[in-house]
Amino acid sequence: MARQGTKHSRIQLRALAFCAALIAAPFVTASALLANEFDFTTDTEMSEFVRQDCGACHGLTLKGGLGRPLLKENLEHFDLETIEEVILDGIPDTAMPPWRGLLSEDQVRQIAKALKEGTIQ
């Protein structure tokens, strides 16, 4: 009987460990993001990031979707600092999230400049 209890305890322990891993998974991912998971060093890597991550809301061609279009002609009336601020801090009460802490200020400057100049590849 003691043997059966030990087997039962191992199954419970495995189940508990599995549940703990499932619960912890989003936090592990979040901490990886906070560690600046988005590391791009070239314009091509930056463009890929913008097309994939920003494109999820702004459209893969950046012509708009849930979010506004991010084409050069749509950003003409915004200065570079405003675009950077929107990327860093998001827009309250909208779907635009803040990227501060996920992207460095240099990365945000690189993205804002490319969007403003229309050079996203």
Report d(CA 25, CA 110) in Å as an integer. Answer: 31
pLDDT of residue 121: 81
Residues of the chain with pLDDT under 50: 19-22, 24-35
Global pTM value: 0.68
Phi-psi region of 104 (alpha: psi -120 to 50; beta: other; left: phi over 0): beta
pLDDT of residue 31: 42
